[in-house]
Amino acid sequence: MPYVSRDASGKISGVFEHAEVGVSEEVPTDDPEVKRFLVEQGLSSPDSARQVLAESDLKMIRLVDDLIDLMIDKDVIKFTDLPPAAGEKYLQRQVARKRLQIIVGEDDIL
């Protein structure tokens, strides 16, 4: 059964798999209020939850790219510190992003 947090008005503001600090109220999985919260979050079905996760994955990929760039620029790591397979994927993405940037500009690249 999930655990929920509530806002000042008593409305569910978060759903968690486990109890955490400040989150100790356990509710049934089929609780109508939990379902309403999930629908509001765009998680009304397994397919919609997968879609939200897929969209998040795309943003995380860009975040990882940017973090690698930042760490290399600040000499925290060297490109050669990356495992060979990771370095190859990183380079492929960098080349693809640069080619796309020529076509659409930096602001239109995810």
pLDDT tens series, the chain, 110 aa: 899 999 999 999 999 999 988 898 999 988 999 988 888 888 777 788 788 888 889 889 989 999 999 999 999 999 999 999 999 999 999 999 888 888 876 665 55
Res 55: pLDDT: 87
pTM: 0.56
C-alpha–C-alpha distance, residues 41 and 49, integer Å? 9
Res 39: pLDDT: 86
Question: For residues 85-97, b (16+ Cβ closer than 10 Å) or e, as one string?
Answer: eeeeebeeeeeee
Q: Spell out the domain ranges in the chain.
A: 3-40, 57-108
Res 43: pLDDT: 79
Contacts made by residues 105-110, CB under 8 angstroms, sequence distance 24+: 110/58, 110/59, 110/61, 110/62
Both tokens of residue 77?
């790591």
Burial degree of 9 (CB within 10 A; 0-12, 13-18, 19+): exposed
72, 79 contact by CB (below 8 A): yes
Res 106: pLDDT: 63
Res 107: pLDDT: 63
* Residue 98 Cα distances to 41, 70, 71, angstroms: 34, 17, 19
Res 62: pLDDT: 87
